[in-house]
């Protein structure tokens, strides 16, 4: 077959184009509308294969093709699929129809227009497993902890210690989503520098991971921050990630392992609360309690001559029952804080806030009783270099 030796590209592109019963779940008719557009793209030879799915209120398009990342035809196809799905969402009166499509006209690249994008290009191996993670009610930095553990933590990934093909470690491309800058750091040599950055999950986000020995792409995360793009609240940037598995990459079980710890992530109700990231099967890929708790699904595929074989619903397993139970306990615990930090996010990260209005209203009722502090608390240097 012509082109068989060319590299394969996996594109996972997602958007919230409206959902059923508030921000709860994607309607099947919108998925069908998107699938019809992708089926036409496949018939025309633009893409090799596709799988349309959802997590919570986010419509997910998983596509394979040979056009490379950031290709206008592929992004255009995804845009058309979201547009058609939005028409259906509007007709059905679904909630927040078209919310993530920030513009009316497509101009060649879907990045910066609302949808989240994770894409990677590689030469297909004889047998090539990948895992696609999709999360709802959280932000791209939610993947910092698990991706770090998969590719840099020997207590998570045995292969880093005992598999010669992983032993040299991985390179982390980290994005400052406020400045739009990228820095590449090596693990294990620069572990502490990596952690110094990615612990600030709202700002420094792992974008890509490469295997150090040969620069092979190992993982990619969507890093779009819709609220930063739009400059106003338009929903959380529920992230997606693609991770390559086995034969020189972490095993599928090593890739799933960090999700056995339901760590706290930003998002949840009104994009303004911390809550546990609960790993769920597709059956439970919909948010309810306090619009959450935030959840993540993992779909496993084999890529075979570009075809998507699968998926395997990887968190559909009693092995993840205890993490889910722990997530429920954490949910109860965090909820009891009500409107208090650290359940509620800090003022600079909240997606909804009445604080400016409250401050304005109370302006004349604040009485000066002490000299104001010389500096804003956030600018005070805690320990001077000696």
Query: From ligand F6R, Mg ion, none, which one binds at residue 173 (CB under 5 to 8 Å depending on kind)?
Result: none
Q: Examine residue 271 and tell whether it contacts ligand F6R (CB under 6 A).
A: yes
Q: Which of 70, 95, 233, 313 is catalytic?
A: 233
Q: Examine residue 258 and tell whether it contacts ligand F6R (CB under 6 A).
A: no
> Using CB atoms, what's the residue nearest to ligand F6R?
291
Q: Examine residue 23 and tell whether it contacts Mg ion (CB under 5 A).
A: yes
Q: Which of 14, 25, 84, 236 is catalytic?
A: 236
Active site residue 233: yes
Q: Examine residue 58 and tell whether it contacts Mg ion (CB under 5 A).
A: yes
Q: Which of 16, 49, 128, 291 is catalytic?
A: 16
Number of residues that bind ligand F6R (CB under 6 A): 10
- Nearer CB in complex with ligand F6R: 54/236: 236
Q: How far is the CB of 270 from ligand F6R (least distance, A)?
A: 4
Query: From Mg ion, ligand F6R, none, which one binds at residue 58 (CB under 5 to 8 Å depending on kind)?
Result: Mg ion
Q: Examine residue 238 and tell whether it contacts Mg ion (CB under 5 A).
A: yes
- Nearer CB in complex with ligand F6R: 14/71: 14
Q: How far is the CB of 101 from ligand F6R (least distance, A)?
A: 16
Query: From ligand F6R, Mg ion, none, which one binds at residue 129 (CB under 5 to 8 Å depending on kind)?
Result: none
Q: Examine residue 262 and tell whether it contacts ligand F6R (CB under 6 A).
A: no
Segment near ligand F6R (CB under 6 A); pick from 62-70, 73-81, 107-115, 269-277: 269-277
* Cα gap 204→217, rounded to integer Å: 20
Among 14, 16, 175, 242, binds Mg ion (CB under 5 A): 16
Q: Examine residue 291 and tell whether it contacts Mg ion (CB under 5 A).
A: no
Q: In the complex, which residues of this chain contact ligand F6R (CB under 6 A)? A: 22-23, 96, 137, 235-236, 269-271, 291
| Residues designated catalytic | 16, 233, 236
């Amino acid at each position: 077959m012509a082109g068989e030796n060319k590299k394969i590209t996996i594109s996972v592109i997602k958007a919230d184009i409206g959902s059923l019963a508030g921000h709860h779940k994607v309607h099947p008719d919108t998925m069908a509308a998107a699938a019809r557009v992708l089926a036409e793209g496949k018939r025309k030879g633009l893409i090799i294969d596709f799988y349309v799915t959802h997590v919570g209120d986010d419509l997910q398009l998983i596509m394979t093709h040979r056009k490379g990342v950031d290709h206008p035809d592929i992004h255009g196809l995804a845009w058309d699929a979201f547009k058609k799905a939005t028409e259906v969402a509007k007709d059905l009166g679904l909630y927040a129809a078209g919310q993530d499509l920030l513009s009316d006209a497509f101009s060649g690249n879907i990045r910066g227009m609302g949808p989240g994008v994770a894409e990677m290009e590689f030469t297909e191996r004889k047998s090539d497993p990948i895992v696609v993670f999709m999360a709802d009610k959280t932000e791209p930095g939610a993947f910092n902890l698990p991706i770090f553990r998969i590719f840099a933590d020997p207590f998570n990934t045995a292969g880093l210690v005992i598999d010669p093909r992983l032993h040299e470690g991985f390179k982390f491309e980290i994005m400052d989503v406020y400045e739009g800058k990228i820095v590449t750091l090596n693990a294990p040599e620069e572990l502490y520098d990596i952690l110094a950055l990615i612990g600030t999950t709202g700002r420094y986000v792992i974008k890509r991971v490469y295997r150090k020995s040969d620069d092979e792409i190992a993982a990619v995360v969507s890093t779009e921050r819709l609220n930063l793009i739009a400059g106003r609240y338009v929903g959380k940037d529920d992230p997606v990630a693609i991770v390559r598995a086995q034969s020189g990459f972490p095993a599928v079980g090593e890739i799933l392992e960090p999700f056995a710890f339901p760590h706290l992530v930003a998002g949840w109700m009104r994009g303004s609360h911390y809550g546990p990231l609960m790993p769920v099967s597709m059956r439970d890929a919909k948010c309810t309690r306090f619009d959450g708790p935030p959840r993540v699904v993992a779909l496993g595929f084999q890529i075979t001559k570009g075809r998507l074989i699968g998926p395997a619903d990887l968190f559909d397993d009693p092995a993840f029952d205890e993490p889910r139970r722990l997530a429920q306990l954490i949910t109860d615990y965090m909820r009891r804080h009500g409107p208090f930090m650290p359940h509620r996010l800090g003022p600079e990260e909240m997606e909804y806030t009445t604080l400016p209005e409250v401050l304005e209203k109370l302006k004349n009722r604040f009485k000066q009783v002490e000299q104001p502090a010389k500096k804003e608390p956030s600018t005070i240097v805690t320990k001077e270099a000696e």
